[in-house]
Amino acid sequence: MTDDEPDPGVPVFEARGVSRTFRRSGTRGRVLTTALDGVDLTVRPGQRLGIVGESGSGKSTLIRVLDALLPPSSGEVLFRGRRIDNASSRQLGDLRSSVQMVFQDPRSSLDPRMTVGDIITEPLRSPLLRSRPDVPRNHGERLAEVLEQVELEADAAGHYPHEFSGGERQRIAIARAIAPRPDVLIADEAVSALDVSVRAHVLNLFADLVRSDRLTLIFVSHDLAVVRHVCDHVAVMRSGRIVESGPIEQIYASPAREYTRNLLASVPKLRVRTASSRRTATEVPDEMPPGPDDPPA
Amino acid sequence: MGALLRIRDLRIGFGRAEALHGIDLTVGEGARVGIIGESGSGKSVTALATMGLLPDTARVSGSIELGGRQLVGLSDTGFARLRGDVVSMIFQEPMTALDPTMRVGRQVAEVLRLHQGAPAGRARERVIEMLSQVGLPDPERISMSFPHQLSGGQRQRALIAMALINQPELVICDEPTTALDVTVQARVLRLLDEQLDAAGAACLFISHDLAVVSQVCDEVLVMYRGTIVESGPIAQVLENPQHPYTAGLIATARIDQIEPGRPLPVIENFWDGKEGRP
């Protein structure tokens, strides 16, 4: 333990009344889209928070605001008790060195011209991270360590991303994210582009890493059944708002909102079609019923 | 029910590599057959061969018979007459499957005009009717929209309208809902189910997701590295898988039955990739 060790009582992230609007040109002139609408969120150290919702519900915007990749239009964002919503990039050193991200599509998130070894050790060469005391100095050693952690052969380091399968590429992206020993891992639909048979591998890997490296995890997905296996808490988003949140098992077992129930019912399950079930393939209503807290369209 | 699509000993090679090692499959009239397998198992290559969409460099041998007509060696013009009429295809990525510079209504109408020679006014009427049938709200407006102005689910509905407007005998779906989120996926699958029934069309449904296949199909073929390792009625395959790879696929698809905190089963728990390899 060093003096720099964060106080366990201070939340890792805190969002207070965070809104974000985008201006874009549509067919009828400029349109204002509200991606986030007054979001309050607290992420505690060691928490494994799932953020679920349909496309366009604001999940990705929220994590981009938390990671200071996008400033909020209004509201406050704190990282370990310090405001980051109006901070300059120089003041974001702590955030940049402690938080790493894993994206959806490892085909576009890995530089095709770099070897796997260079990709994984690149964050270690970043000036923001070099200054941190616990960032591994010996890059070769750390590379070997993380390759082993994500169950890739040591000689993978000399190859290029295109030589690997989708699941292996996602493990490379994870190895890169954990190389600088972050405290927080943010995964944005990290298993959505993978084959179902490969998904279990990567989910098991997330679970193991969070346990062994004692990470705080923010896991974004449209699939509640997937989130249930890596998270202990969940926030359900719709139209830029958090409409329901709490311990995952509670929400999985008895969702309070119809929207959440629909999200759950939509997850495809193995079933045998019978003549009588042919007409009722799924019980999901055609359009989501509007919630009482729905913003007017 | 007679056989609509009959594939025998189909082999497809690219350069020195063979992607498909001689597969047999039959789709009866109005039947729903799923092909399940991981990326690179040869499921998409099978679909593309049936649609005549393989690159010229592909070597194809064996037989693909559709309604008694041999498709292997068929000319491009021969395929053009079939595509969109007797057989149509729904692709994974509707944004790339649709022409971004053409209004949606015109794209759907094009399929109709090419095969039915319908006059523009009548075609337009039929297009609006079809767009409304696939559950698109305000079909007049949608028909005048460009693909980028629609959501992913709406684009996929437009593709389904396009694939079904000529009432084809066979619809090939290649991962049609993989790019969609779960709620939109559930709605599109239900729509597909209804529309296939209404048209009486047979379906060859390709997916990596066994749960999705089980929502739509009655029979399933399990592919692995260019061969079919198992096939049969879906109930039989799910209840009593014969190949360890199939058993692994079933286990990985059932994550809702695993207690949280426990490791999820992976294929390797069931199969080392060697035993029972054809």
The answer to whether A75 and A18 have CB atoms below 8 angstroms apart is: yes
Tell me the pLDDT of chain B (278 aa) as tens digits: 579 999 999 999 999 999 999 999 999 999 999 999 988 899 999 999 999 999 999 999 999 999 999 999 999 999 999 998 899 999 888 778 899 999 999 999 999 888 888 777 788 999 999 999 898 889 999 999 999 999 888 999 999 999 999 999 999 999 999 888 888 899 889 999 999 999 999 999 999 999 999 999 999 999 999 999 999 999 999 999 999 999 999 999 998 899 998 999 999 999 987 766 65
Give a yes or no: residue A79 inside a domain. Answer: no
Give a yes or no: residue A14 inside a domain. Answer: no
> What whole-number distance in Å separates Cα of residue A249 and Cα of residue B90?
37
Interface test with B, best of A270, A272, A274, A286 (most B CBs within 10 A): A270
Counted domains in chain A: 1
- The pLDDT, as a whole number, for residue A1 is 42
Give me the mean pLDDT over the A286-296 stretch: 43
Whether the CB of A261 is below 8 Å from some CB of chain B: the reply is no
Q: Which of B151, B185, B249 sits opposite A266 (nearest CB)?
A: B185
Look at A270 and B260 and tell me if their CB atoms are within 8 Å. Answer: no
Look at B238 and A204 and tell me if their CB atoms are within 8 Å. Answer: no
Comparing alpha-carbon positions, the chain A residue that sits nearest to B207 is A195
> What whole-number distance in Å separates Cα of residue A4 and Cα of residue A97?
13
Give a yes or no: residue A75 inside a domain. Answer: no
**Residue A287, SS3?**
coil
> What whole-number distance in Å separates Cα of residue A229 and Cα of residue A21?
32
User: Which residues on B lie below 8 Å from A278 (Cβ)?
Assistant: 193, 197
A78-129: per-residue pLDDT in tens?
A: 999 999 998 888 888 889 889 999 998 877 889 999 999 999 999 998 887 7
**Residue A88, SS3?**
coil
Give a yes or no: residue A19 inside a domain. Answer: no
Q: What is the ipTM of this complex?
A: 0.85
The answer to whether B79 and B71 have CB atoms below 8 angstroms apart is: yes
Report the percentage of chain A scoring pLDDT > 70. 87
- As given in the structure block, the two tokens for residue A50 are 């799932």
Report the percentage of chain A scoring pLDDT > 90. 67
Give a yes or no: residue A240 inside a domain. Answer: yes
Q: Residue A133: which CATH number?
A: 3.40.50.300
Domains of chain B: 3-240 (3.40.50.300), 241-278 (no CATH)
> What whole-number distance in Å separates Cα of residue B229 and Cα of residue B241?
11
User: Which residues on A lie below 8 Å from B260 (Cβ)?
Assistant: 228-229, 248-249
Whether the CB of A273 is below 8 Å from some CB of chain B: the reply is yes
Q: What is the mean pLDDT of chain A?
A: 87
Give a yes or no: residue A133 inside a domain. Answer: yes
What DSSP assignment string belongs to B194-224? Answer: HHHHHHT-EEEEEES-HHHHHHH-SEEEEEE
Is the four-CA dihedral A254, A257, A260, A261 of positive or negative sign?
positive
Which domain covers residue A64, as residue numbers?
A: 44-70+89-255
The alpha carbon of residue B207 and the mean position of all alpha carbons in its chain are separated, in whole angstroms, by 8
Look at B209 and A268 and tell me if their CB atoms are within 8 Å. Answer: yes
Query: Which strands make up the sheet holding B202-207, listed edge to edge?
Result: B87-90, B170-174, B202-207, B32-36, B219-224, B227-233
- Those of residues 142-201 in B touching chain A at CB distance below 8 A are 149, 151-152, 180-187, 189-190, 193-194, 197
Give a yes or no: residue A275 inside a domain. Answer: no
- The pLDDT, as a whole number, for residue B146 is 94
A237-280: per-residue pLDDT in tens?
A: 999 999 999 999 999 999 999 999 999 999 988 887 765 454 44
**Residue B28, SS3?**
strand
- Those of residues 24-83 in B touching chain A at CB distance below 8 A are 38-40
Give a yes or no: residue A160 inside a domain. Answer: yes
CA nearest to B85, candidates B29, B162, B26: B162
